[in-house]
Amino acid sequence: MAKILKIYPENPQENFINEAVKVLENGGVIIYPSDTIYTIGCDIYNHKAMERLAQIKGIKLDKHKFSIICNDLSHLSEFTKPIETATFRFLKAHLPGAFTFILEANRNLPTSYKGHKTVGIRVPDHVVPQLIVEKLGHPIVSTTIHADDEILEYSTDPELIAEKYDKLVDLVIDSGYGDNTASTIVDLTSGEPEILRQGKGIL
């Protein structure tokens, strides 16, 4: 059964953040809040955890398009090819925020990203995932909570989310009701922003 931790952004308890980090370090899969919808994630460097994440999504790991969650832009050079100054300024102007930016990947991506030529980068404007990444020392991955119906109620209510994913994940972080609009996906691989999916973020 998944443990539930109530961590509110107004007063995120350090011991609870540390507990979430420990779950990730031990190969666990967690559900956590963001500035958009609740998402499922794990340690980007834990291959077995990534396999679990893919299984939860019902896909093969080599077919995944999991986004990389950073707490700032300092991790970009670890995963992406060199970015032009204008593109970096554009990213800096819109992050943290409700965007997923698609960038060209370099060869340093973890083995779970083998063969990926591009990668989605997220810096959520939410203190909980920012603190988790900061404490962990490197990014985590993110994938949306899968909806089985059109009501989507459980994608905003953490108690319903915990009930649905109770036997699939190790930890659910309850930060109150989430949004029901996903991030805006913007492709920056050509140098010019191209919106692939309009979501919460407005350019």
pLDDT of residue 9: 92
pLDDT of residue 146: 63
The DSSP result for the chain, as a single string, is: --EEEE--TTS--HHHHHHHHHHHHTT--EEE--SSS-EEE-BTT-HHHHHHHHHHHTS-GGG--PEEE-SSGGGHHHHB----HHHHHHHHHH-SSSEEEEEEB-TTS-GGGTT-SEEEEE--S-HHHHHHHHHHTS-EEEEEPPPSSS--GGGT-HHHHHHHTTTT-SEEEE-S---SS-PEEEE-TTSS-EEEE--S---
pLDDT of residue 156: 85
- Cβ neighbours of residue 153 under 8 Å, at least 6 residues apart? 160
pLDDT in tens, the chain (203 residues): 899 999 999 999 999 999 999 999 999 999 999 999 999 999 999 999 999 999 999 999 988 999 999 999 998 989 999 999 999 999 999 999 999 999 999 998 998 998 899 999 999 999 999 999 999 999 999 998 865 555 445 478 889 899 999 999 999 999 999 988 889 999 999 989 999 999 999 99
Under 8 Å between Cβ of 159 and 174: yes
CA atoms within 13 A on the CB side of 45: 10
pTM summary value: 0.93
